[in-house]
Amino acid sequence: MNNTILLNDNVRIPQLGFGVFLIDCDGSAYKAVRMALDAGYRHIDTAAAYFNEEEVGRAVRDSGIPREEIFVTSKLWLQDYGYENALKGLDASLSKLGLDYVDLYLLHQPYGDVSGAWKALEEGRRQGKIRSIGVSNMTPGLYRKLTADFETVPSVNQVECNLFCQQKALRSLLKETGTAVEAYQPLGHGSQALLTNGKVLELARKYGKSAAQILLHFLIQEGIIVLVKSVNEDRIRANADIFDFSFTVQEMEELRALDTGHGNHDPEAPGVGEMLLERYKIHD
């Protein structure tokens, strides 16, 4: 499990990452990250709004694995947008993680004072607190609008991406700047429609893999960074067992044809920013 992608800032990121969204900070996140690291994952993705940075950082520190061998991502929450607030938000994340730096730091959502927050991320990178900076949940329209005045091109855009939501227009746009696409919900949040799709099951039988492994490998073969999540050790290990086969050119074309062009989350829907800000309050 050593596939890496070279980002546009010359930072290398492991193509398969382990995410901790909705894993509680009651020992569960710590245990899950330790299991993932033991299984060979070297890319861990958290966020201020996941409320589990403390356990993620402790698991990384307790693992015995040299810090430079583990790629750690966190994300700035909307409450901390704007230049000064974002600098404080970054320091708060580093403090909770118990780390001197993060490998990748993202603007979690495309609302509010994005420009000010981005300038803070650029400053954090200059100070050595961040190795690489990126964005998340940006559609093609939002990406064009919000990054137009960025001094630094984002290295990553983390978005919903799976077999039915392949983000083709976004990927075409990001190819121009060498910005990598990072997929969350690669299994469609456990979508039965994805897991029981006829073509997926046909390929699962052919390659001796599970439907989930087929879905994950498709994104890997497309060159997309993939984030998986589980608290089950067997599933954590199975999700990583996707690098020992390759689809044919025809199979890739057949899988690409299953794209529906839309997913579960529409960042451009009215009121999404306000709703998220109200739902997730990381501090008073």
Cβ within 8 Å of residue 54, ≥6 positions away: 25, 96, 97, 98
Task: From the candidates 30, 50, 143, 184, give the one annotated as an active-site residue.
Answer: 50
**For the packed helices 233-240 and 211-221, what is the interaxial angle rounded to 10 degrees?**
40
- State the DSSP string of 124-136: HHHTTSEEEEEEE
Contact, 211 vs 200, CB < 8 A? yes
Measure the CA–CA gap between 69 and 17, rounded to whole angstroms.
13
Q: Where are the beta strands (DSSP E) in 201-281?
A: 225-228
Exposed e or buried b per residue across 210-227, where buried means at least 16 C-beta atoms within 10 angstroms of its C-beta: bbbbbbbbbbbbbebbbb
- What is each CA distance from 187 to 127, 191, 194, 211, 217, in whole angstroms? 37, 6, 7, 9, 11
Does residue 207 carry a catalytic annotation?
Answer: no
Q: Token pair of 88, please? A: 């404080």
Position 110, amino acid: P
Catalytic residues: 50
